[in-house]
Every structure is written in structure tokens, then in C-alpha cells.
Structure 1
Amino acid sequence: MNTDNKAILIKANRLISAGDNEGFLAFCTEDTTWEFVGDRILNGKQAVREYMAEAYTEPPIFNVEHLIAEGEYLTAIGKISMKDNTGKLINYAYCDVWRFDNGKLAELKAFVVEIIP
């Protein structure tokens, strides 16, 4: 199960990096919940779709440094770079804690911090 969850997340992230948000969303449950700690909570696939359309004006670049799995949980630690609404590339460090349900991304708790050069 842990190996499968890692493979699922890697494949899903590759789809986002290729600009295929709908392909990524196929890996999510309909009632997926995403919490960006200290920022916002998204409830449901449609809310995530709208967020991705707004935040990913260009596909983000992921650098996953570690994947740590236990049971239905998978933690991804790494860096992500994406453009803001002015087109400036911003670099972030992140720690995403995913909960899987029957092989799908059901819940995300994301800790994201901008890397100041």
C-alpha cells in the first residue's frame, strides 16, 4: 500500500508539472479536502480545480526530496517553484501530508513557506 501511494503521488505530480490538472484531479476523491495551513481550506474537487486554475497559470516545478509513508498517510517534503500573478517565479519549501482513501488523494494538509533568497 505505501509503495502504491508513493507511485500514485509521483504520477499525479508529473501530470500537474505537464499542465494536466484534470489528469491530476482523476487521482482525487470527489470530496477531497485541501488545507493550506494559515491560508485557506478547499472542500471538494471543484474547489481544488478552481484553485489550480488560479494558482497554476503555468505548471509548477516540483522537487520532491523525501516521501515518507505509513498506512493511509504519505508525507512529501520538497520544493516547488511557480509563477505569481505578475509572472515572477517564486520558490517555496513545502511539507504535504496526504491521506489516501482506496488509492485516491482524499485529504491534504500543506505547510508551504516562501524561500527568501
Structure 2
Amino acid sequence: MTNREILEKANQAFSKGDYEEFLTYCTEDTTWTYVGERTLTGKDKVREYLSAAYEESTFEIERYIEEGDSLVAMGWIKLKDNEGKILNYSVCDVWRFRDGKMAELKAFVIRD
């Protein structure tokens, strides 16, 4: 599979709320950096964050740009805040792949 196909399969699981399947597409030492917010290292930390932060979400990827072991995915996501209000965000995720798995994420998330 191409890196894009891997991410698309992973995102299908994510959109169903199946974070365990999503994590099968990640390396054990995956590192996720939400620029200006936090860095998560390893599947366990990512698992904890996903179950809390993305309890209810919808998203769409509008464009992919691929070069070498990197894939950029741009789009939007809607998330519930602590008060139950839906907030809209623009996202730009820069993924780095290693051995057919997602090894690193650098996420730029901006509230619309």
C-alpha cells in the first residue's frame, strides 16, 4: 500500500471510533506533536489522548501531498468542547512513515 492508502485505511477506522484498529497502522514508538500544545510518544499515550479528545468528531481530508516518506493531509475537523458545543478547526497533518506504518505526526490545528 502507498502511504496515502495506509492513512486512508487508518482514517476509516478512526471515523468509526475504532482507535485500536487505527493504532495498528502506527509504529509502537509513534510520536505525535500538536504544534503549540503537546507531544505524545508511544501508542499508549496516543490511545489515551484519542479516547478523551476525539470522543465525538467528524473530519474530512480535502487534499494530500506526498513526497518520499512524508504525507501531508489538509482538511477540517469538528470536535465537541467541554460544554458540548461543536467547534470547527482547519487541520494540516504532516505524517512520516517508516516500514509501512505511521511513525510521526506533526499536526497544525487552527480553530475557524
* TM bracket (short chain): over 0.9
Does the Cα contact within 8 Å between 1:13 and 1:62 map onto a contact in 2?
no
Q: Structure 1, unaligned stretches of length 5 or more?
A: none
Moved more, 3-12 or 99-108: 3-12
SS at match of 2:73: strand
Deviations 1:48-84 (A, max 9, x none): 00000110122x2111110000010000011011212
Equivalence for 2:18: 20
Alignment of 1:113 with 2:110, yes or no, is yes
Alignment of 1:41 with 2:39, yes or no, is yes
Q: Structure 2, unaligned stretches of length 5 or more?
A: none
Deviations 1:2-59 (A, max 9, x none): x71101111111111101010100100000000000000001000000000110122x
Equivalence for 1:53: 51
Alignment of 1:10 with 2:4, yes or no, is no
Deviations 1:74-115 (A, max 9, x none): 000110112122221111001100000011000000000011
Equivalence for 1:79: 76
Distance 1:65 1:109 in 2: 18
Equivalence for 1:32: 30
Percent identity over paired residues: 56
SS at match of 2:36: coil
Q: Which runs of 4+ in 1 moved over 6 A?
A: none
What is the Cα-based RMSD across aligned positions, in Å? 1.0
Distance 2:82 2:8 in 1: 26
Does the Cα contact within 8 Å between 1:73 and 1:98 map onto a contact in 2?
yes
Letter in 2 for 1:46: D
SS at match of 1:16: helix
Equivalence for 1:101: 98
Does the Cα contact within 8 Å between 1:74 and 1:99 map onto a contact in 2?
yes
